[in-house]
Amino acid sequence: MSLRQVILAASTVVALALTAGCTVRVGGDEDNDGAQVFGEENSMQWDLTRPLEAESLGLPADKMVIVTVPEDATVSLTLPSGTWSGRTEEMTVTTRRGFVDSVDLFWTEADGQAAADRMVADAALLGVDAARVAEWAETARWAETADTNRSRTDANYNGANGEVSTAIKPSMAVGEGPGTPVRLWYMFYVRDVVETAG
């Protein structure tokens, strides 16, 4: 790596820390095209209450990007009324006109009750109806032993925290018995944050 590249990489890290409120890893596995946004502690912190410029994060201006997610990755997202924090196994970021437009997080919970418990714990912060997401546990119990042609069952719970729109989507296989894992998909839309600031 040349001296110029080292200086540019260091400048990028400083700029990101100051403007985006996140830690990043510059560079990484040359064979991996995924965006590198996690720091040395396998953590990432973004402030979604203000526009995040794609270029300063090393992201393209108008594209959905698959992020390279390290093991035991933790994401913290500052929302208008608090900070959501959790682990993630997969992550995508969609940019639009030079700014982050949405953040999507994916991970697996052990079973339907664990997924329902997590969603209920996050409901108030994400502006989602806690009573509705609690009902997922019953849906999951049905799905574990259901005799149906459906291969999966899922749901969609929409909410908002100030100008950040949110959604939670649990999904699980049907008919695989007790303890069937549940895939959770959390979505954070920040288009209104960008447009209000513009």
For residue 2, pLDDT beyond 90: no
Task: Please say whether the beta carbons of 180 and 95 come within 8 A.
Answer: no
Q: Which residue type is seen at 78?
A: T
What's residue 26's pLDDT?
A: 29
**Regarding predicted confidence, which is higher, 21 or 38?**
38
Query: What pLDDT, in 10s, does the model give residues 70-123?
Result: 999 999 999 999 999 999 999 999 999 999 999 999 999 999 999 999 999 999
Question: For residues 10 and 5, what is the distance between their CA atoms, to the nearest angstrom?
Answer: 9
For 171, phi then psi, to 5°, come to: -150, 140
What's residue 90's pLDDT?
A: 96
Hey, what long-range contacts does 136-141 have (CB within 8 A, 24 or more apart)?
Answer: 136/112, 136/170, 136/182, 137/112, 137/113, 139/112, 140/111, 140/112, 140/113, 140/115, 140/116, 140/170, 140/172, 140/180, 140/182, 141/112
What's residue 198's pLDDT?
A: 64
Please, which pLDDT band fits residue 187 given cuts at 50, 70 and 90?
very high
For 158, phi then psi, to 5°, come to: -100, 150
Task: Please say whether the beta carbons of 164 and 49 come within 8 A.
Answer: yes
What's residue 20's pLDDT?
A: 37
What's residue 39's pLDDT?
A: 83
Please, which pLDDT band fits residue 33 given cuts at 50, 70 and 90?
low
For residue 134, pLDDT beyond 70: yes
Helix (H, G, I), strand (E, B) or coil at 108: strand
Please, which pLDDT band fits residue 10 given cuts at 50, 70 and 90?
very low
Q: Which residue type is seen at 106?
A: F
Q: What is the mean pLDDT of residues 8-25?
A: 36
Q: Which residue type is seen at 168?
A: I
Q: Which residue type is seen at 180?
A: T
